[in-house]
Amino acid sequence: MTNRKQFPNEQAAGNRIAIPLLASGKFYGQKENVYKTEAAGLMETFYSPSFEIPRHSHEGAFFGLVLEGAYTETYDRRVRECQPSTLLFHPAGEVHSETHYDVNVRIFSIEPANYLIQQLSEQAGYTGAPLEVRGGTLLETAVKLYREFRRPDPLTGMAIEGLMLELLVNLSRRQESTPDKAAPDWLRKVKEILHDQFLLTPSLTCLAAEAGRHPAQLARAFRRHYHCTVGDYLRSLRIEHAKNELRFTDVPIVEIALTVGYSDQSHFSTAFKRHAEMTPAEYRKNFKKRK
């Protein structure tokens, strides 16, 4: 298998590249195992080291359970890090791309049948929002599906249908409690400003003025909806930026620390380890993107 040169369904549109739309059961990478029932399509896919997947979308919604390896995924102006035991939900039509590290990657994909998604929308108010989890009931159910997929028997089809329904019900319940759903527009605007200006240290007063609210009101609302302070959220954005610098550049760690607002490398390393459970040096060694 070769890395990205030309992909199916990718067509030039003038000087632009049309975003491919993949049909049900179609994924980049090397298909290894497939199991299909009326309720779901299940597939295990392998990707060679440093695989690049362009911006694309899928006709139907699907879950992706990372079994092996690590990569970054860009979607909806956001970047998330995907490692083993990460479960991702991609709503239909979501545009995303992937950059894989210099390791093998293996993903278990779960595509619910369209009629189940429709039932979920009609009966449970399914919102179609993207989601990632690293624990809890959703991940446990996805792992059970993978076990059924790997060891099929005469009752596997029935088991998969039950687990698929359980997965979708838990997805809907999880999305009902997603903080952004209840957040007012002005608060979501503040969150967008933080994403755009996280290296500039915007003050709470300036953020509140942009939103037309009092700083105290902003602080209370932000904690209520996002379960952390504005400062904590800003700190997490900076750590994510530092991760990208460690992965994709050779900038010295001390310079990265200064860029994200830490006066010395020791203070930065402590904060980074609290967030990533490893030091910046260990993170760069494990996840550095090789050219």
Instruction: Give the whole-number percent of the chain exceeding pLDDT 90.
Output: 47
Instruction: Give the domain ranges of the chain.
Output: 12-177, 182-287
CB 143 within 8 A of CB 78: no
Residues in the chain, pLDDT under 50? 1-15, 291
**How many angstroms separate the CA atoms of 145 and 278, rounded?**
31
- CATH fold of 12-177 reads Jelly Rolls (2.60.120)
Other Cβ atoms within 10 Å of 265 Cβ, number: 18
Place of tokens 């608060």: 187
pLDDT at 14: 45
Q: 52-58 and 21-22: which strand pairing? A: parallel
pLDDT at 118: 82
Question: C-alpha angle 195/199/201, rounded to 5°?
Answer: 95
pLDDT digits (tens, 9 = 90+) for 97-109: 999 988 999 999 9
- CATH fold of 182-287 reads Arc Repressor Mutant, subunit A (1.10.10)
Residues 25-49 as b or e (16 or more Cβ within 10 Å = b): bbbbbeeeeebeeebbbbbbbbbee
pLDDT at 13: 41
Predicted TM-score (pTM) of this structure = 0.61
